[in-house]
């Protein structure tokens, strides 16, 4: 069984109103990840990815590009202890 890692991610730039959350959910599900994503009042998108290290790394790499209409300026990543999340969803 592969190790599970957790990364907490904050994405800055033009990342709201460009389907970033929906695209993050789709990408995370394709990668078999668990966690959540939400818009923040300051214009950033916040996400948590839990799963195998390679898949989490792929999700972070995707976050640096985002969907077609996004203009990502910065991605901050913090390593955290996995919580055993199940599923991937938008959070309020």
Q: Which residues pair with 51 in a beta bridge?
A: 5
Closest CA relative to residue 10, chosen from 49, 55, 58, 53: 49
Pairing of strands 88-90, 34-39: parallel
Catalytic: 21? yes
Q: Annotated catalytic residue: which of 6, 7, 21, 44? A: 21
Catalytic: 69? no
Both structure tokens of 84: 């055993």
Both structure tokens of 83: 């919580």
Q: Annotated catalytic residue: which of 6, 7, 38, 39? A: 39
**Catalytic site positions:** 21, 39
């Amino acid at each position: 069984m592969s190790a599970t890692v957790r990364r907490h991610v904050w994405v800055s730039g033009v990342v709201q109103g460009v389907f970033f959350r929906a695209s993050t959910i789709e990408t995370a599900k394709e990668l078999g990840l668990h966690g959540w994503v939400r818009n923040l009042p300051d214009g950033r998108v916040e996400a948590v990815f839990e799963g195998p290290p390679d898949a989490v790394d792929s999700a972070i790499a995707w976050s640096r590009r985002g969907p077609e209409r996004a203009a990502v300026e910065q991605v901050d990543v913090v390593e955290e202890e996995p919580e055993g999340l199940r599923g991937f969803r938008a959070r309020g």
